[in-house]
């Protein structure tokens, strides 16, 4: 199977996964959702509120280290095989323009379309209309990772109340039209920073698209083309200078010149060379391999020190993300002290707090009680909270002590203590918070 067919199947699989994922839920929770509306992050069926996003840094580290590791080992495989920009360009250029409307030859991506004919112009407008519809669908799909599809379509029924969301979707669609139809591969070359970063991560063991100069011969010397046709060859060089690899390149480069920023590892040049060299009973002169394996004929070890460091870092991020994901609390509690430091009534000192309790459970209703884990203090006032699923309420907590705790006449003294908030229906569902109890200096007490 050619690399092109493998890429098309990969694109199809990625498209199905990305399109279907927002609709998949586990116990009512999404696989992946960052909801600014509900201030929640859904990941693999777990829900994290904004104040418990301690798992997010490790996911971001996993993403960035993963990109660097993938680039260092396999080159720009993301660009050619998974990047939305590349997938959208293939859909528009190869499917809509070439296969459906016949505006260009799929094996010659260098030749521009001639718009002198009226029929060609009409087909161009048809291609813009088709891509406009697909861009709108793609922009809605993007929004589903921030607004669940059910909520999204409900919001569409009230456009005046959700004007910003609708304009955001339209803006993304317009950008996709401009990017894919007019900017084309120039986005990869001049806008995307990844193409600049990848050159710093490459070495002779990095897999990339390599023209085999040992077999094909050197076409370029000192950056300038020195061989233009087969008559100029001397020796046993196998390249026929047919230029098939150049014509099919979507980023308009000649891979025989060597590593270039514009190359996205799509391997269409390898397929083109395979077709030509196959007629001669030979293998393609363009391979997906490292400089060492293709040119220097040396083995590129998978477990080189560089790769081991990347793998250990990725494993550490995964383990830390799983560990902190398991630390998710059954409900959320914020404890804030009021502006009044303390109250004094005879020999009793009290401190006031405001508790905000959020029941994050989707189904269960709980009654939350409180217990002080320090014998020096006791609860003077607390109203038990009965919370429905997803409900958040506030209440006042007053702690007091009759013990003589002050040790100085010069300043107030803070004492650390702990309280336990738990569900009366199931005491295993509990949260412990450390709070500060302010005790007045000795001369203020009677």
Taking 80 as the threshold, does the pLDDT of residue 417 lie above it?
yes
Provide the pLDDT for residue 236: 65
Reported as a pLDDT band with limits 50, 70 and 90, residue 231 is low
> Distance between CA 285 and CA 277 in Å, rounded?
8
> Average model confidence (pLDDT) for the chain?
84
Reported as a pLDDT band with limits 50, 70 and 90, residue 233 is low
Reported as a pLDDT band with limits 50, 70 and 90, residue 296 is confident
* pLDDT tens, position by position, 12-24: 999 999 999 999 8
Which structural domains are found in the chain, ordered by start?
3-199 (no CATH), 203-294 (no CATH), 331-444 (2.60.40.10)
* pLDDT tens, position by position, 319-338: 887 777 666 666 788 888 88
* pLDDT tens, position by position, 344-373: 888 888 999 998 888 877 777 888 888 888
* pLDDT tens, position by position, 115-158: 778 888 898 899 999 999 999 999 999 999 999 998 899 888 88
């Amino acid at each position: 199977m050619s690399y092109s067919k493998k890429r098309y199947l990969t694109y199809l699989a990625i498209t199905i996964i990305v399109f279907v994922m927002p609709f998949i839920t586990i116990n009512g929770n999404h696989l992946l959702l960052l909801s600014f509306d509900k201030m929640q992050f859904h990941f693999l069926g777990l829900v994290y509120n904004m104040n418990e996003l301690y798992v997010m840094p490790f996911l971001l580290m996993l993403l960035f280290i993963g990109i660097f590791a993938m680039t260092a080992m396999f080159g720009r495989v993301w660009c050619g095989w998974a990047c939305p920009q590349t997938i959208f360009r293939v859909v528009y250029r190869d499917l809509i323009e070439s296969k459906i409307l016949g505006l260009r030859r799929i094996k010659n991506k260098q030749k521009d379309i001639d718009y002198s004919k009226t029929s060609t112009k009409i087909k161009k407008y048809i291609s813009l209309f088709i891509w406009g519809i697909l861009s709108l669908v793609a922009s809605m799909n993007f929004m589903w990772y921030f607004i669940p599809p059910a909520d999204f379509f409900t919001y569409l029924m009230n456009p005046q109340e959700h004007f910003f969301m609708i304009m955001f979707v339209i803006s993304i669609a317009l950008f996709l039209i401009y990017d894919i139809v007019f900017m084309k591969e120039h986005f990869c070359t001049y806008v995307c920073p990844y193409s600049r970063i990848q050159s710093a991560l490459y070495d002779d063991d990095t897999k990339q698209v390599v023209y085999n100069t040992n077999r094909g011969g050197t076409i370029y010397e000192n950056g300038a083309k020195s061989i233009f046709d087969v008559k100029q060859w001397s020796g046993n060089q196998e390249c026929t200078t047919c230029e098939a690899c150049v014509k099919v390149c979507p980023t308009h480069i000649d891979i025989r010149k060597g590593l270039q920023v514009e190359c996205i590892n799509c391997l269409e040049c390898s397929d083109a060379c395979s077709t030509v060299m196959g007629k001669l009973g030979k293998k393609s002169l363009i391979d997906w391999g490292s400089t060492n394996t293709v040119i220097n004929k040396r083995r590129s070890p998978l477990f080189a020190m560089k790769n081991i460091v990347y793998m250990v870092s990725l494993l550490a991020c995964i383990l830390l993300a799983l560990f902190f994901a398991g630390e998710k609390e059954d409900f959320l509690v914020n404890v804030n002290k009021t502006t009044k430091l303390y109250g004094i009534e005879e020999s009793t000192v009290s401190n006031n707090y405001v508790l905000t309790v959020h029941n994050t459970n989707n189904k269960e209703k709980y009654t939350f009680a409180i217990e002080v884990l320090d014998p020096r203090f006791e609860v003077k006032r607390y109203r038990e909270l009965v919370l429905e699923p997803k409900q958040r309420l506030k209440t006042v907590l007053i702690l007091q002590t009759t013990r003589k705790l002050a040790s100085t006449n010069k300043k107030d003294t803070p004492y650390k203590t702990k309280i336990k908030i738990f569900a009366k229906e199931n005491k295993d569902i509990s949260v412990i918070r450390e709070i500060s109890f302010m005790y007045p200096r000795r001369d203020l007490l009677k």
